[in-house]
């Protein structure tokens, strides 16, 4: 079972080089499962027993199933669609000494820079065109090795192995072509999008690692790929959501964008997207504002964003008594400074859920002398104040373009999510 789930995850990751592609793939899966797509700019006529989903900005998605029985609150499993990368700037082509052309890019999110160098990369995202008086968004993926960020030879930087501070404008621009090649960058993009170059009015384009994911190790116990953080959780959430019975609570699969840059966008956790969706459901079903607040008080959210496993070469970087490992279960994340939402009640509820699902759990707390990151749970709670637990799947090399996790852990979250949505 672990191998099958892992192979499905690798296929999903390959089809999802950007957040736009990930949301498109989820939409396809939901449509195949009988869900109906809603539009934010149209009136919603929802029915008990109905299955629906809605997207915002083509990069965030909320799917929900309305129970036939009287509602017992919302059960929400939230993750995020974005990963650290390089975003292509406007007017991206830079000519160097009339010999090379490189692309002007900027960093998106808090990335590990070094692993991006000396590996085949390509470009994917979306372009916007105007057709019949309407603006249309089209997915694009230049599905071949297109660019590369070459390292400086050791002979020219003898201190390279002693630590190096990368200058994003100087050191991290990808080589695209020689000046002898006559194909412009946006001609390549237009061809991939099946539009004309002069039709492109806007773009959100990102670099991505071309190396495909793999299952490896002495007993095939590891899985490595780009974008495990956080598409591993998003994928497991969707599978568990579809598998769960969704009989009494209103089940919600929520995937938000821009977590890696602070969630402060109209489609991020700090936006009103979740609040707008829940209140529209409430109104369409004929409930009052007070009934909505009662349902919120009875609700529970799982904020799922990957967690740091103990690193075999840096064991001292992990808290001395809370030490998550690959393949040993879902990680519950705690923070005294409320970087995570977990408290005594939400952790107890999640531990009981995992016990009923037959899934092991682990604990992550930052070392007391190290600052930790935050995630989407505490940000979304400023819009929808639901009791929340922060969890994740253990991984190594977080924010690298090629991350590593355990073969079993995706399946653990699928089982826990299915139990959650029973």
Residue 265: other Cβ atoms inside 10 A:
20
Distances (CA, A) of 8 to 2, 38, 153, 239, 400: 10, 27, 39, 10, 21
pLDDT at residue 132 in the model:
87
Measure the CA–CA gap between 343 and 165, rounded to whole angstroms: 38
Provide CB contacts within 8 A for 376, sequence distance 6+: 78, 79, 80, 256, 259, 263, 268, 269, 303, 305
Query: Among 90, 106, 124, which residue's Cα sits nearest to residue 18?
Result: 124
Range list for CATH 2.30.250.10 in the chain: 85-209
pLDDT at residue 22 in the model:
98
Is the separation of the CB atoms in 80 and 257 below 8 Å? yes
Written out in words, the top-level CATH class of the domain with range 85-209 is mainly beta
Query: Tokens 């200058």 sit at which residue?
Result: 167
Reported pTM: 0.96
- DSSP-derived letter for residue 116 is G
> 2-83+226-420, what's its fold?
Aminopeptidase (3.40.630)
Collapsed DSSP state (helix, strand, coil) of residue 217: coil
- Per residue of the chain (422 residues), give pLDDT as tens: 789 999 999 999 999 999 999 999 999 999 999 999 999 999 999 999 999 999 999 999 999 999 988 888 999 999 999 999 999 999 999 999 999 999 999 999 999 999 999 999 999 999 999 988 899 999 999 999 999 999 999 999 988 898 889 999 999 999 999 999 888 999 999 999 999 999 999 999 999 999 999 999 999 999 999 999 999 999 999 999 999 999 889 999 999 999 999 998 999 999 999 999 999 999 999 999 999 999 999 999 999 999 999 999 999 999 999 999 999 999 999 999 888 999 999 999 999 999 999 999 999 999 999 887 778 888 888 889 999 999 999 999 999 999 999 999 999 999 999 999 98
Measure the CA–CA gap between 28 and 32, rounded to whole angstroms: 6
Range list for CATH 3.40.630.10 in the chain: 2-83+226-420
**pLDDT tens readout for residues 4-13:** 999 999 999 9
């Amino acid at each position: 079972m672990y191998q099958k789930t892992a192979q499905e995850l690798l296929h999903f990751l390959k089809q999802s080089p950007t957040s736009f592609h990930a949301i498109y793939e989820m939409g396809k899966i939901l449509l195949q499962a009988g869900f109906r797509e809603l539009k934010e700019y149209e009136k919603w006529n929802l029915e008990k027993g109905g299955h629906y989903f809605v997207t915002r900005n083509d990069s965030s998605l909320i799917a929900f199933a309305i129970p036939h029985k009287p509602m017992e609150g919302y059960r929400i499993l939230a993750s995020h669609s974005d990963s650290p990368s390089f975003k292509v700037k406007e007017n991206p082509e830079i000519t160097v000494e009339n010999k090379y052309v490189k692309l002007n890019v900027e960093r998106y999110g808090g990335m590990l820079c070094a692993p991006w160098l000396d590996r085949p990369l390509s470009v994917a995202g979306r372009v916007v065109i105007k057709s019949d008086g309407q603006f249309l968004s089209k997915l694009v993926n230049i599905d071949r090795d297109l660019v590369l960020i070459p390292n400086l030879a050791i002979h020219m930087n003898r201190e390279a192995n002693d630590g190096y501070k990368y200058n994003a404008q100087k050191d991290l621009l990808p080589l695209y072509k020689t000046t002898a090649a006559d194909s412009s960058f946006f001609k390549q993009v237009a061809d991939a999008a099946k539009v004309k170059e002069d039709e492109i009015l806007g773009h959100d384009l990102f670099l991505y690692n071309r190396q495909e994911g793999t299952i490896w190790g002495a007993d095939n116990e590891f899985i490595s790929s780009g974008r495990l953080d956080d598409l591993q959780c998003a994928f497991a959430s969707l599978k568990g959501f579809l598998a769960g019975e969704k009989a009494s609570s209103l089940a919600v699969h929520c995937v938000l964008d821009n977590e890696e840059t602070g969630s402060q966008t109209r489609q991020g956790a700090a936006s009103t997207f979740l609040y707008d969706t829940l209140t529209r459901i409430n109104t369409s079903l004929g409930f009052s504002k007070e009934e909505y607040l009662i349902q919120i008080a009875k609700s529970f959210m799982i904020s799922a964003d990957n967690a740091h496993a103990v690193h075999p070469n840096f064991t001292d970087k992990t808290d001395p008594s809370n030490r998550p490992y690959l393949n040993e279960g879902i990680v519950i994340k705690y923070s005294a400074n409320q970087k995570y939402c977990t408290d005594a009640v939400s952790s107890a509820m999640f531990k009981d859920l995992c016990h009923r699902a037959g899934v092991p759990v682990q604990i992550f707390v930052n070392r007391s002398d190290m600052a930790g990151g935050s995630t989407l749970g505490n940000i979304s709670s400023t819009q929808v104040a639901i009791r929340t637990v922060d969890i994740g799947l253990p991984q190594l090399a977080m924010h690298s373009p090629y991350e590593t996790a355990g073969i079993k852990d995706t399946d653990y979250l699928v089982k826990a999510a299915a139990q959650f949505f029973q």
